[in-house]
Amino acid sequence: MSRRLWLIPISLWLGGCSDSPREVTSSKAPPVAVSVVAVAQQQWPSIYEATGTVRASTSAVIAARLLGYVRDVKVQIGDRVREGQLLVILDARDLDVNSRKAEAALDEVRSSIPEADGAVTGAKANLDLAQATFKRMQELWNKKSISNQEFDEASARLKAAQSAYEMARARRGQLDAQAARVQQDVRSTEVARSFAEITAPFAGVVTAKTVDPGALAVPGASLLTIEREDAYRLEASVEESQLSAIRVGQPVSITLAGVDRTIGAKVSEIVPAIDAASRSYTVKIDLPRLPALRSGAFGRASFSLGSRSALTIPVGAVTERGQLQSVTVAENGIAHTRLITTGQRSKDQIEALSGLTAGEFVIFPVPAGLTDGAAVEIRR
């Protein structure tokens, strides 16, 4: 029994040995021809980037100058207004009453002026007569032709006429002063009345509205906000450590959300006060006139701070997958995927901060379908 079991595998093994050997073919793929770029150490522009917000260079918070209820609001948020355009109307009925009272008082004073002028004219005539009479009486008195009592009576009449004339003139002067005061009251009521109609101080766009008809307008409280459209600036937050590197008039490259190109600008103002929380200060950069500019837009300012040595590679050689960045390196005829960290970009070049060393060869452009570990042949 056991003898039969051993014969079967031996015969099978002998049968296998009787076959001729099979030919073995290689499955190794030919190398992929690639172009490479050497990782080079070169002078790289030193750029400092700061983020900021676009603000209008000129803006105005519109507030009432008197206490009153709002009767009408003529504009809405987003409306463009011209200089002097009516924005808000306040209820000014009490001011109208005061204005009419002042005008009535002025009319009353003016109506008294002719009577006062007549009184002055009459007093002057009496004074002239008293002076002439006194002169004749004095001549007669010098000739002893009249008594002392008659001369004294003439002298008293002259003094009385002089006093009446001075009183008439004083009364006329009082009317002038009273008229001037009432005219000031009329002008004051007109000015106060004008405060009930609030107008735009300049041409611009309404960016905020905090008032509706029926609300009580309080002096100094915001009703509307208007921004001038033809002048904007980027207010960028710059780190405290960069304070010495930024100066007024320095050229800056600006990129803005919604604007598909880089904008050239200059630093117009540096706010010296540093924010204690963020340890940064504000740099204001005047922007050119662009139709797409709007207050509140996000912007990025790039300040050129000279140059430095850096490893650079073509931007197109970098592959991004989510937060990971990689390049394909040709090393000893084999393609290897290498994770790297990049820095600043300049045109078609990008800075390699880590993962590469000078002299290595980065495959660029990367052929379609090239995998990690594939054999490559560098084209010269």
Quick one: CA dihedral 177, 180, 186, 188, positive or negative? Answer: negative
Give the per-residue pLDDT at 28: 64
Check pLDDT > 80 for residue 216. Answer: yes
- 255: amino acid identity, one letter: T
Largest CA distance in the chain: 200
CA distances in angstroms from 65 to 6, 8, 219, 226, 274, listed in the order given: 119, 117, 5, 17, 34
Q: How many residues does the chain have?
A: 380
Which tokens belong to 378? Answer: 């560098």
Give the per-residue pLDDT at 180: 86
Over residues 278-302, the mean pLDDT reads: 86
pTM given for the model: 0.54
pLDDT digits (tens, 9 = 90+) for 303-319: 888 778 888 888 888 99
Check pLDDT > 50 for residue 4. Answer: no
Check pLDDT > 80 for residue 73. Answer: yes
pLDDT band with cut points at 50, 70 and 90 for residue 278 = confident
Q: Quote the CA–CA distance of 7 and 111 in Å, as a whole number.
A: 153
Give the per-residue pLDDT at 267: 92
Crossing angle (nearest 10°) for helices 93-142 and 148-194:
160
Q: Quote the CA–CA distance of 204 and 60 in Å, as a whole number.
A: 10
Which tokens belong to 376? Answer: 């490559």
Over residues 176-184, the mean pLDDT reads: 86
pLDDT digits (tens, 9 = 90+) for 115-133: 888 888 998 999 899 899 8
- 364: amino acid identity, one letter: F
Check pLDDT > 70 for residue 17. Answer: no
Check pLDDT > 70 for residue 8. Answer: no
Check pLDDT > 90 for residue 81. Answer: yes
Q: Quote the CA–CA distance of 63 and 218 in Å, as a whole number.
A: 8
Closest CA to 303 of 238, 232, 347: 238
Check pLDDT > 50 for residue 148. Answer: yes
Over residues 79-100, the mean pLDDT reads: 87
pLDDT band with cut points at 50, 70 and 90 for residue 175 = confident
Give the per-residue pLDDT at 152: 87
Over residues 129-139, the mean pLDDT reads: 89
Over residues 347-357, the mean pLDDT reads: 87
pLDDT band with cut points at 50, 70 and 90 for residue 156 = very high
Check pLDDT > 50 for residue 69. Answer: yes
For residues 224 and 76, is the Cβ–Cβ distance under 8 A? no
Check pLDDT > 70 for residue 109. Answer: yes
Percentage of the chain surpassing pLDDT 90? 24
Q: What is the mean pLDDT of the chain?
A: 84
